[in-house]
Chain A
Amino acid sequence: GAGVSQSPRYKVAKRGQDVALRCDPISGHVSLFWYQQALGQGPEFLTYFQNEAQLDKSGLPSDRFFAERPEGSVSTLKIQRTQQEDSAVYLCASSGRLAGGAQYFGPGTRLLVL
């Protein structure tokens, strides 16, 4: 595809609901990243995949957060039993082997937990 796409763009959830956020990376990009961006802050790393392997999940804030990329392309970030503190923009990025370290970001999903 032309760029990284994410869906939904906006999500309102009631506290305690489960949500699933989808990311479609740039075609052929082997690495996929999830970041969380609070209002007025820089993105914070959550987790990262190389193909289908989750190589680093050190940034996931709790066991309510789960990410998968079963076929090495599309990824889903799932948040169970959402809390108000989960309200943020969730950014997905991808990079290729020849990208020289640069990551290309999607538009983000803005999650609001009421």
Chain B
Amino acid sequence: AQTVTQSQPEMSVQEAETVTLSCTYDTSESDYYLFWYKQPPSRQMILVIRQEAYKQQNATENRFSVNFQKAAKSFSLKISDSQLGDAAMYFCAYRTATNFGNEKLTFGTGTRLTIIP
């Protein structure tokens, strides 16, 4: 079974600075998807960024980028120019690339990010 580990329960960053959230995973599969989701306090889970394992290029979405190291099974999220609205719980998630019958997401335990004004 796949597992996802987020070793940083809490992180904080000064507004406008850059922060990196760590995620490692364990799988025997070669093709899969990785995601970062953001969950603000009492609000719904929002997709931040998505990476396909067969693509070597790291995904980027505006201020959010990932460092995907397939051999090391590492998938970190970098947030540049941190803003107050980035404060949230961040979850790393894994999904196999097999489409039929096995689409569930496996989540890590999350990292709570605090932005210091």
Could you list which residues of chain A lie within 8 angstroms of chain B, going by C-beta atoms?
31, 33, 35, 40-45, 48, 50, 55-56, 59, 91, 93, 95, 100-108
Could you list which residues of chain B lie within 8 angstroms of chain A, going by C-beta atoms?
4, 33, 35, 37, 43-47, 50, 52, 91, 93, 95, 97, 100-110
Identify which of A31, A33, A41, A100 contacts B52 (C-beta below 8 A): A100
Q: Flag if A42 contacts B44 (CB, 8 Å).
A: no
Identify which of B4, B33, B45, B110 contacts A101 (C-beta below 8 A): B33
Q: Flag if A102 contacts B35 (CB, 8 Å).
A: yes
Q: Flag if B110 contacts A33 (CB, 8 Å).
A: no
Q: Flag if A104 contacts B47 (CB, 8 Å).
A: yes
Q: Flag if A48 contacts B104 (CB, 8 Å).
A: yes
- Give A101 Cβ to nearest chain B Cβ, in Å: 4
Q: Flag if B107 contacts A100 (CB, 8 Å).
A: no
Q: Flag if B44 contacts A105 (CB, 8 Å).
A: yes
